[in-house]
Copies of this chain bind each other. A is one copy, B any other.
Amino acid sequence: MFEVRATDLAGRIGKLKMRRGFINTPAILPVVHPLKQIIHPSELKKIGFEAIMTNAYITMKHYGEEAKKRGIHSILNFDGIIATDSGGYQVLEYGELDTTPIEIAKFQEAIGSDIAIVLDKPTGLNVSRKYAEETVKATILASKQTLNIKERKALWVGPIQGGKYLSLLKSSAKQMARLKFDLYALGSPTLVMENYDFKLLVKMITVVKQNLPLNKPLHLFGAGHPLTIPLAVALGCDLFDSASYILYARDDRYITSKGTVRLEDLYYLECSCPICSTHTLNELKSLDKIEREKKIALHNLYVLKNEINATKQAIEEGRLWEYLSMKARSHPKLWEAFILLNKYYRYLEDGTPLFKPRALFFFNYIDQMRPEVIRYNERLILDVEIPLEREILILIPEVDYNTLMRITTLHKRLDEYLGINSKKIQICFLSYPYGVIPEELADLYPLTQYESSLHIDTQIEVLKLTLKRLNKFLMKKAFQKIILVNNNKFYSPLIKMLQRKIKNCVIIDAMNESISKIIDKIANQIIGLKS
């Protein structure tokens, strides 16, 4: 029912199949009001939205039996996928609902919802733990009651509540995981995102995902913001619903790839959607409120669609990490969330392909902790065996294709020079992005397939982490002598640090030296060792 086609980090491009058809994920479901839509669902379909969400409770209160007769697709005049929210969220705003989980569940089935949601009790953000526990209990009870209903044709969503209490979210997810839902959803209190508390969002999503079956999609409630979507997708969210496109428009807020701008603060249209390419900014600003709201809402939808597509393109290219890192420079609070990701290595590494079509990008020490690099270092320490007889380590900075070619020459010539003694030599590359790379591994992806500014923008953290990785390697295999070949000025700071911190090591000055000269110097060190 849920096919995953491509992954990067914990993000996945998938296909959620159901009776009526399917949704390509990740996807945003625009929220529409069952009674009156500023943008009609048929327009949403034209724009490219395969699925929308509406409110079952309001539908039931207003249409009642008529809705059961006609069906929700007829009422909304939309033949794509319709997800119905139980109305649980209304509770946060309007207080108790006049219905029960079973009643609203049967109603959603009766009106032909393709995706239906249990009548949950949303936790909200600034509530006591005790209250949060109650909402989790109530939601689980409602979930069990709902799943007891025999005639179920819709795909059913199990909502995970718990607010900001991570341990509650965890136990809520564990319990809900035992119930046979088709999808799960995370209640992300809108306040989290209004406060740009992306760090908390990272923690919430990961604790829930790590306790739910991975083969079921996860829906993130109410997350229609260009900064939230890529991060949430990378953490494993597959579906989003959003009324933001209309709520922002109502507030004269125009969505960009970086956030939102008040129309009065907008001077230039940096978008070419059907609205922005057919109106000047002044024309837009001069429209009457109702017309303006509709047009900005349309523009907002296009931007959100673009954001989903840009994120999917990044997954296909294997560049989701890079895309997040760029997005994270839109706001310091998003940056704080991004740098938290390296703590979830194991969770993110799983979906990160071993081979990607493109080079990896490295900008600063955070990129030295990206999944591919940690994975490489784990395998280096756990799986790679350096033959015992190799007592001498030759460390050469950086690796690129040219250096690889020269090193092959280097090794051959050392063989000629030293004869049988060349068996005592292990050549490794020193690499700011990766750490230590034994010569034999150097042509494995992505060890030479990268672009990096670490050697230009070399922060102390970069040096320290590289040194730490070298130390780990040296703890794995002790060498009698370490020869540092200083042939790259960008590695001089590292080499100086190594000289201070590592025993038994000697530096060979090789700046601009020919291969012959370098071999002479290395050989001298080695021969000198024998005597």
A345 within 8 A of B: no
Q: When the two chains form their complex, are residues B335 and A453 in contact, meaning their CB atoms are under 8 A apart? A: yes
A138 to chain B, nearest CB (A): 36
Q: When the two chains form their complex, are residues B309 and A270 in contact, meaning their CB atoms are under 8 A apart? A: yes
A116–B313 alpha-carbon span in the complex (Å)? 42
Contacts of A322 in B (CB 8 A): 329
Q: What residues make up the interface of A, taking CB atoms closer than 8 Å to B?
A: 47, 256-258, 261, 265-274, 277, 302-303, 305-307, 309-310, 312-313, 316-317, 322, 325-326, 329-333, 335-336, 339, 357, 361-366, 451-453, 456-457, 459-461
Q: Among B302, B313, B365, point to the contact of A266 (Cβ < 8 A).
A: B313
Residue among A268, A271, A461 facing the most chain B CB atoms (10 A cut-off):
A268
Q: Among B277, B310, B456, point to the contact of A273 (Cβ < 8 A).
A: B277
Given A270-B306, A272-B306, A332-B362: A460 and B459 interface contact (C-beta under 8 Å): yes
- Closest 10 A/B residue pairs (Cβ): A270-B310, A332-B453, A268-B309, A272-B273, A326-B329, A272-B302, A460-B460, A270-B309, A267-B316, A335-B453
Can you list 8 A-B contacts (CB < 8 A)? A265-B317, A268-B312, A269-B309, A270-B313, A273-B273, A322-B329, A326-B329, A332-B452
A419–B322 alpha-carbon span in the complex (Å)? 58
Q: When the two chains form their complex, are residues B272 and A305 in contact, meaning their CB atoms are under 8 A apart? A: yes
Q: When the two chains form their complex, are residues A363 and B451 in contact, meaning their CB atoms are under 8 A apart? A: no
Closest chain B residue, CB of each to CB of A451? B332
A303 to chain B, nearest CB (A): 8
Contacts of A460 in B (CB 8 A): 459-461
Contacts of A459 in B (CB 8 A): 365, 459-461
A452–B332 alpha-carbon span in the complex (Å)? 5
Given A274-B272, A332-B451: A457 and B339 interface contact (C-beta under 8 Å): yes
Closest chain B residue, CB of each to CB of A277? B274
Contacts of A47 in B (CB 8 A): 277
A248–B364 alpha-carbon span in the complex (Å)? 31
Closest chain B residue, CB of each to CB of A460? B460
A496–B495 alpha-carbon span in the complex (Å)? 28
A54–B273 alpha-carbon span in the complex (Å)? 29
Contacts of A307 in B (CB 8 A): 270
19 other contacts beyond A274-B274, A322-B329, A459-B461, with CB at 8 A cut-off?
A: A47-B277, A258-B326, A267-B313, A268-B309, A268-B310, A268-B316, A270-B306, A272-B272, A272-B274, A329-B363, A331-B361, A332-B362, A332-B452, A333-B451, A336-B453, A336-B457, A365-B459, A459-B459, A459-B460
Contacts of A257 in B (CB 8 A): 257
A506–B273 alpha-carbon span in the complex (Å)? 60
A150 to chain B, nearest CB (A): 40
Closest chain B residue, CB of each to CB of A317? B265
A452–B317 alpha-carbon span in the complex (Å)? 31
Closest chain B residue, CB of each to CB of A322? B329
Given A267-B313, A330-B326: A456 and B339 interface contact (C-beta under 8 Å): yes
Closest chain B residue, CB of each to CB of A463? B460
A357–B261 alpha-carbon span in the complex (Å)? 13
Contacts of A302 in B (CB 8 A): 272, 277
Contacts of A316 in B (CB 8 A): 267-268
Closest chain B residue, CB of each to CB of A13? B267
A306–B257 alpha-carbon span in the complex (Å)? 12
Residue among A329, A336, A362 facing the most chain B CB atoms (10 A cut-off):
A329
A317–B362 alpha-carbon span in the complex (Å)? 29
A324–B126 alpha-carbon span in the complex (Å)? 37
A319–B46 alpha-carbon span in the complex (Å)? 35
A450 to chain B, nearest CB (A): 9
A322–B328 alpha-carbon span in the complex (Å)? 11
A220–B495 alpha-carbon span in the complex (Å)? 41
A249 to chain B, nearest CB (A): 16
A23 to chain B, nearest CB (A): 15
Contacts of A309 in B (CB 8 A): 268-270
A181 to chain B, nearest CB (A): 29
Closest chain B residue, CB of each to CB of A366? B457
Q: When the two chains form their complex, are residues A313 and B363 in contact, meaning their CB atoms are under 8 A apart? A: no
